A and B are shown apart, each in its own frame.
With several copies, the nearest count.
Chain A
Amino acid sequence: MSLTKPELLQAYRKMYEIRAFEERLHLENTGGDIPGFIHLYTGEEAIAVGVCENLTPQDYIGSTHRGHGHCIAKGCDIRGMMAEIFGKETGLCRGKGGSMHIADLEQGMLGANAIVGGAPPLVIGASLTAKTLGNKGVGVSFTGDGGSNQGLVFEAMNMAVVLQLPTIFIFENNGFGEATGHDYAVGGRNITRRAEGFGMPAVRVDGVDFFAVYEAVKEAVQRAREGGGPTAIEAMAYRWHGHFEGDPMLYRAEGEVERLRAEKDPLKIFRSKTRKQLSDAELDAIETEVNALVDEAVSKAKADPYPPAENVLTDVYASY
């Protein structure tokens, strides 16, 4: 294992931040305080963190409608995210974006994106910037199994291969796009092989295992930084909640989610794989800290003011 103890602790912290953030949102949303649509990332934490622990703030990621995990992993401020999701002036996008549009360019986060398949074309652009400026940066796009069928995504893969861009295409295969299984929607039933057809290395990894994701991405990032072009990585994982909050998941086996929570929990798996390096006490302490942070983020977000109505006309060139 190539990671130091502080790195391992950091990885766990990030994963737990996502977990605590999302599970709290689930509760808050049930309470009815949150405007708009919410898509939770719980169960897929190892992907976002396994990817982003390989990146620096000079690297860029582009995300999906299910973007909270990517934001947290890439370093977005949790308070700013929570305030954004609650629609407050103090939010990362000053309340204008919401859950599906959280962005933080200073952290290299190009935005959640509510257009399925929207990120890959943008991310190859960030990769082009890195290549043109010669700064060794990379761009990473996240796309779901459902999104993997979108024309935008295929075009971006082809372009990245043609221009040999430093891009990593992460496919988060959580089994479903809304209520439709990946086995139905993905022609050939194999996102990895389809990506390979575009002429780049592609691997499938266990997306609930932080280490599997981390190592595959590490290799891809290194290749990209060295001018070796793009890579596709399909990370197999599971969505614990509904497509959006409110989906009763009629299409899933009874007891499936309970089983996943028991057997496929990225955090539990991480704990068991790091038993030799990290103690439960250390990890529990992190959880306590993070819980407090999320509590604070929620109370702050609730207390913070909404943006004033006149802000509807700011951040745009038109004054009418």
Chain B
Amino acid sequence: MAIKTYREAVKEALAQEMERDERVVLIGEDVRGGQAGTASPEKLATIEAFGGVLGVTKGLWTQFGSSRVIDTPITESAIVGMAAGAAMTGLRPVAELMFMDFFGVCYDMIYNQAAKFRYMFGGKAKTPLVMRGMIGAGFSAAAQHSQSPYNIFGSTPGVKVVVPSSPYDVKGLLIQSIRDEDPVIFCEHKALYELKGEVPEHAYTIPLGVANYTREGTDVTIIALSAMVHKANAVADKLLKEGISVEVVDPRTVSPLDEEGILESVASTGRVVIVDESSARFGFAHDVAALIASQAFHHLKAPIVLITPPHTPVPFSPPLEQAWIPSVERIEAAVRKLMEA
């Protein structure tokens, strides 16, 4: 199988779905990039100067043209709202929010609109829209460009929320998200774009709501998403050498959530660590802890351990930011402590 980066996998998913289904359109700021520049008309007619700020969509305009790859002004409510309206009426738009941190300027178009149409209109509407964007800290992008609000998205009924951790997953889940009939918020972690992994050439789907056990083990279950999965894996690999057997469960989608996949692992280990970058309060860790404490209580041998950032904005300075992000060390220490208890 070909080795590709997470970034390439995202683009490949978009390209293959756009090829397969001409109702799929991309909408966002600089998703092509370079409109009305000062370069010569000939050059402007060919370049994709940005292809998204991180180059994820670069190449798609050349392939699909301006009616499928739609550059917009800086106007997120209109981007997401337009995508929602287009989705209700026959397109399958993929709107790019660039940084998910920007949800605050446009969330009504998901929260009160796209997410609710199907239910509120008695099942008579579908809104097959994907809103893509970046999450995550680690780049000193500071307080307004480093957040991971998938917990907020996950609390909204009617919307599905995907938070993939690997190149393989990101492609299969994005294709599935585009084909899904419900609105999907698709969260790509900045720290993963350069991550490489095996990605099949063909279009394939991964169902939403099915967890992936990235490590199998019997002593402790670590539940983690996105960039945190790799930290959990590292801890599992390290501790295995010492005879501690750690299972790592990556739910991959926050909503729907593979409750069974989580509870099964907890039933077998009885010890739980949840690692979550979203929030110190009302986060994914809390949601899953509540699930376990209510549904798998009798399997638990020890308190559930939550590893989250502190309840603060993301600080800019590298040492502060490193202290903010859940670390391998904290995860390892938590697992060790659970084994002692």
Q: When A and B assemble into the complex, do they touch directly, with CB atoms less than 8 Å apart?
A: yes
Q: Measuring CB to CB, which residues of chain A are less than 8 angstroms from any residue of chain B?
A: 35-37, 60, 62, 87-89, 91-101, 103-106, 110-111, 113-118, 120-133, 139, 146-147, 149-152, 155-156, 158-159, 162-163, 175-187, 249-254, 256, 306-318, 320
A99: B residues at CB distance < 8 A: 142
Q: What are 18 A-B pairs with beta-carbon distances under 8 A?
A: A35-B318, A87-B319, A93-B122, A96-B119, A96-B320, A97-B316, A104-B124, A110-B89, A115-B113, A121-B82, A125-B93, A149-B75, A155-B75, A175-B38, A187-B73, A251-B39, A316-B313, A317-B256
Contact at B35–A184, with CB atoms within 8 Å? yes
Asked if A60 meets B39 with Cβ closer than 8 Å, knowing A101-B144, A312-B312, the reply is no
- Give Cα A139–Cα B88 distance, bound, in whole angstroms: 12
Q: When the two chains form their complex, are residues B316 and A35 in contact, meaning their CB atoms are under 8 A apart? A: yes
Report which of A60, A115, A130, A320 forms a contact with B112, defined as CB distance below 8 A. Answer: A115
Q: B77 contacts which chain A residues (CB < 8 A)?
A: 121, 151-152, 155-156
Q: Which residues of B contact A311 (CB under 8 A)?
A: 315, 320
CA distance A126 to B71 in the complex (A): 17
Partner of A36, one of B87, B112, B316: B316
What is the bound-complex CA distance between A181 and B41, given in angstroms?
A: 13
Q: Is the CB of B73 within 8 A of A159?
A: yes
Interchain CB contact (< 8 A) of B324 among A147, A151, A184, A312: A312
Nearest residue, chain A, Cβ from B33: A179
Q: In the complex, what's the smallest C-beta–C-beta distance from B159 to chain A, in angstroms?
A: 9
Query: Taking beta carbons and an 8 Å cutoff, which residues of B are in contact with A?
Result: 23, 25, 29-30, 33-40, 43-44, 47, 49-50, 53, 67-68, 70-91, 93, 102, 104-105, 108-109, 112-113, 117-125, 139-145, 157-158, 160, 182, 255-256, 280, 310-313, 315-320, 322-324
Question: What are the residues of chain A within 8 A of B158 when measuring CB–CB?
Answer: 316-317
Contact indicator B36/A92 (Cβ below 8 Å): no
Candidates B29, B47, B120; contact of A178 at CB < 8 Å:
B29
Across the interface, which residues of A come within 8 angstroms of B313, CB to CB? 96, 316
CB distance from A316 to the nearest CB of B (A): 5
Q: Which residue of B lies closest to A91 (CB)?
A: B122
Whether the pair A94, B47 counts as a contact (CB closer than 8 A) is no
B80 / chain A contacts, CB cutoff of 8 Å:
121
**Which residues of A sit under 8 angstroms from B320, Cβ to Cβ?**
87, 95-96, 306-307, 309, 311-312
Q: Are B37 and A320 in contact (CB under 8 A)?
A: no
Residues of B within 8 A of A133 (CB): 90-91
Q: How far is the CA of A55 from the CA of B255 in the complex (A)?
A: 39
CB distance from A167 to the nearest CB of B (A): 10
Q: Whole-angstrom distance between the alpha carbons of A180 and B74 in the complex?
A: 10
A315–B319 touching, CB < 8 Å: no
The answer to whether A179 and B49 have CB atoms under 8 Å apart is: yes
Q: Is A114 touching B316 in the complex (CB atoms < 8 A)?
A: no
Q: Given A122-B82, A182-B36, A307-B320, output 16 extra A-B contacts at Cβ < 8 Å.
A: A60-B85, A94-B122, A96-B119, A97-B121, A97-B142, A98-B142, A103-B120, A110-B85, A122-B109, A127-B85, A128-B25, A133-B91, A152-B108, A180-B30, A180-B35, A316-B313
Contact of B318 with A180 in the complex, beta carbons under 8 Å: no
Q: Which residues of A contact B81 (CB under 8 A)?
A: 118, 120-122, 124-125, 152, 155-156
Complex CA distance for A312 and B102, rounded to whole angstroms: 23
Chain A residues with CB below 8 A from B315, complex form? 95-96, 307, 311-312
- Residues of B contacting A105 in the complex (Cβ-Cβ under 8 angstroms): 88-89, 121, 124-125
Residues of B within 8 A of A175 (CB): 38
Task: Please tell me if the beta carbons of A101 and B120 are within 8 angstroms of each other in the complex.
Answer: yes
| Inter-chain contact A146/B73, CB cutoff 8 Å | yes
Q: Closest B-chain residue to A147, C-beta based?
A: B74
Instruction: Establish whether residues B49 and A251, one from each chain, have CB atoms under 8 Å apart when the complex forms.
Output: yes
Contact B47 A117 (CB under 8 A): no
* B276 smallest CB distance to A (angstroms): 14
Measured CB to CB, the nearest residue on chain A to B180 is A317
B107: min CB distance to chain A, Å:
11
**Residues A125 and B85 in contact, CB atoms below 8 Å apart:** yes
Q: Are A316 and B311 in contact (CB under 8 A)?
A: yes
In the complex, which residues of chain B have a beta carbon less than 8 angstroms from the beta carbon of A97?
120-122, 142-143, 316
User: Closest B-chain residue to A93, C-beta based?
Assistant: B122
Given that A97-B142, A253-B40 are contacting pairs, would A178 and B30 also be in contact in the complex, using a CB cutoff of 8 Å? Answer: yes
Is the beta-carbon distance between A163 and B70 smaller than 8 angstroms?
yes
The answer to whether A318 and B145 touch across the interface, beta carbons within 8 angstroms, is: no
Query: Are B121 and A111 in touch, CB under 8 angstroms?
Result: yes
B219 CB to closest chain A CB, in angstroms?
Answer: 27
Say yes or no: A306 contacts B47, CB within 8 Å. Answer: no
Whether B312 and A180, one on each chain, are in contact in the complex, defined by CB atoms closer than 8 angstroms, is no
* Most chain A beta-carbon contacts within 10 A, residue among B75, B76, B83, B102: B75
Q: Are B78 and A185 in contact (CB under 8 A)?
A: no
Whether B105 and A152, one on each chain, are in contact in the complex, defined by CB atoms closer than 8 angstroms, is: yes
Nearest CB in chain B to that of A129: its residue: B89
